[in-house]
Every structure is written in C-alpha cells, then in structure tokens.
Amino acid sequence: MPTHRLSRVALERLQAEHLDLTTRGRIEVAARIGRAREMGDLKENGDYHAAKDDQGHMEGRIRQIESILENHELVEVVDDGSVVIGCTVTVLYKGDAPSQAERYLIGHMEEQPKDASVSVMSPTSPLGAALLGAKAGASVTYDAPNGTLTVSVVHVEASS
C-alpha cells in the first residue's frame, strides 16, 4: 500500500469528511432509499435507483478516505526556500513570457489550495519530482511525453 503524504490541513479535512459521510451521509441516503421504497415498484422507480447510485458513490468515497487515513504520513512544511511537499511553487517554462508563469501546490491529490488559481501537482509526477529541492532562480529539466522540458523556478512559498 502506498503511503499518502498529507498536510495537517488535508488530514483534518479528510477526517471531518469521513465522519460526516459515515454519520449524516449514511442516515440521509438510507432515509431517501426508504422513502423511495414506499413509492412502490422498484424496477421503474427512478428515485430509488438514484438513491442507490448515490449510496454506492458515497460508500466508495468512504473506502477511499479510509485507505488514505490508514496509510498516511503527516508532512510538515519546512520553509527553507526550497521546493518541498506542501509548498507552492511558481514556474516558468523555457521560452514562455513571464505572464505565463504557472503556480502549483506540491502535494497529494486531496490537498486543496486556498487560491483557486493554484493547481495541485504530485511530487511523484515527472515535473514534481524534478522540482523537489530546487530553489528560486534554479532551472530544472524533466522528461515529458512530448520530450525534455526545462522550467525555471520563479518563486517558492511555504503553504500555511
């Protein structure tokens, strides 16, 4: 099983979501299924099938969260100016104008950046792995599906 490296914020959000889904969520979907059953014939009961589908999706999400929580490692962000898991990095691809710089939060897919313009990048992706340890002003090269690309690290900031 892979270890999921999470920030404290992501861990707490997942724990809260799990609690909500296993309590309120299950109670609400069970009530919806019960109301739909009272309507009669289940074969052609759209409300019943929709509620059962919602129940299946919810149970899948519960299992996904449980797997993450059972196999996680808490990552504390160290603010030393280098790209680490949990930091936000601004990069500029070689040949692009400064206005085309892109911002990424380096972390797990369950991380949710405070700024909606920031995308999450896995530290195990080709670019994410190449960026780890780099500091502002550095250039890193990585292999992408369409060839070797070079990016400059414009700015690194510790996420809170």
Torsion angle of C-alpha atoms 141, 72, 75, 126, degrees rounded to 10: 0
- The pLDDT score that the predictor gives to residue 116 is 86
Across the range 79-94, mean pLDDT stands at 91
- The pLDDT score that the predictor gives to residue 154 is 96
Write out the CATH class of domain 4-74: mainly alpha
Average pLDDT, the chain: 91
- What token pair was written down for 96? 């692009």
Confidence of residue 126 (pLDDT cuts 50, 70, 90): very high
- The pTM score is 0.77
Across the range 88-117, mean pLDDT stands at 92
Percent of the chain predicted with pLDDT > 70: 99
3-35: pLDDT as tens digits:
898 988 899 999 999 999 999 999 999 999 999
- What token pair was written down for 55? 């129940």
Considering only 67-71, 75-79, 141-145, which range has the smallest mean pLDDT? 75-79
Domains 4-74 and 87-158 share a fold: no
Q: Domains of the chain: which residue ranges?
A: 4-74, 87-158
How many Å apart are CA 158 and CA 106, to the nearest integer? 10
- The pLDDT score that the predictor gives to residue 104 is 95
How many Å apart are CA 129 and CA 121, to the nearest integer? 10
From the candidate CATH numbers 3.40.50.11540, 3.10.50.30, 3.40.50.970, 3.40.50.9100, the one assigned to the domain spanning 87-158: 3.10.50.30
- The pLDDT score that the predictor gives to residue 160 is 55
